[in-house]
Amino acid sequence: MILLISVLGAFAGGNLMASAVIAVRIFMMALTIVLVMRSFSTAQTLLALCLCLAIIGVVSSFSGLALGGGARLSGGIPPLSPNEISLLAGLPALVLLHEGLRARIHWWHLVLLALLVGLLFLSESRTALIGAAAAAGIMLLLVRRFPIQTVITALVGIPVMLYIALLTPALRNIVLRDDSASLMTLNSRTISWSVVLNYPWDSWERWIGSGLSMKTIEVEGQYWEEQVFDSSWISLLAQSGIAGAAIAVFWVLSCVMMVLSTAKLRTLFLPLLTFVLVRSFMENGLIDAGAMFLVFFVLSLSLERPSIAQSLDWQQCGTLNLRESPAREMR
């Protein structure tokens, strides 16, 4: 419905072809995910998603380091922005942290977790770090009992984290990045936001948007002429209007209600959903042909599946246990 509304808005604005191409791409991605999740379990899909994100994130990051770049970690092959690197590293890291808190991982998983967390910090994406910190905090609050292995690992890891945060410039570099005029860059982002929020109520742009190809907007009174939205929700208002944004809000709220009402997987899916939604307020891509939409759509479909009661566990070989729940096996 969001795609159809955006195409209608693009048609009204005379920009049908470019927006229709993007809508078809998103639809093809969504259809592919639906077909995959009809053929494989939620655990298999989530495992494959995390493996793909981690592999692409690590390869892109190391190739970017080899090719050399700016102060922030950027991808080389494939070329990815620091914010995209943070997403590719952040989601698998959170899944590993969830299993690590329950002592369901091996030592080499801890090495991979440390690598992914390192890439997340090197990306210097403040929004991703805030989202990851919020997700990790929710995981800690939802743990009923910490295994002794987890406690020992935490006692060893906490001093290392404190050393990195307090005695190295890593945290200061993130807070005071060279490409930021101040700690909070909302002063420039809200310029483009205000243009979208001040659309006339009797205009078609206000209600059905201008199409998915609208990534920037003209601004006045500045030394620059165009500016990106830097927010998935402002982008939705510009691309699909109030009608499309309202559907997206209902979609997100339904996911939140489903994850809160599902006790067995609340400890995993609520943090992952938090990580994605926190990023969506300051980054584009929640409804787009990119990794953020891929992650959000997989989480959304996972919460709607009858196999939601299945458990995620680690086998002796170090992979997720992909067994279905006993109830489903009986069926």
pTM for this prediction:
0.85
Q: Give residue-wise pLDDT tens across range 283-326.
A: 888 999 899 999 999 999 988 765 544 444 434 333 444 334 33
Residue 322: CB atoms within 10 A of its CB come to 18
The rounded Cα 188 to chain-centroid distance in angstroms is 23
CB hemisphere CA count around 296 (13 angstroms): 26
C-alpha 224/C-alpha 237 separation (Å) is 22
Q: Give residue-wise pLDDT tens across range 3-36.
A: 999 999 999 888 889 999 999 999 999 999 999 9
Lowest mean pLDDT among 61-65, 155-159, 202-206, 276-280: 155-159
| Cβ atoms 310, 41 nearer than 8 A | yes
Q: Give residue-wise pLDDT tens across range 171-192.
A: 666 666 655 544 445 566 777 7
* pLDDT for 104: 81
Q: Is 283 helix (H, G, I), strand (E, B) or coil?
A: coil
Q: Is 218 helix (H, G, I), strand (E, B) or coil?
A: strand
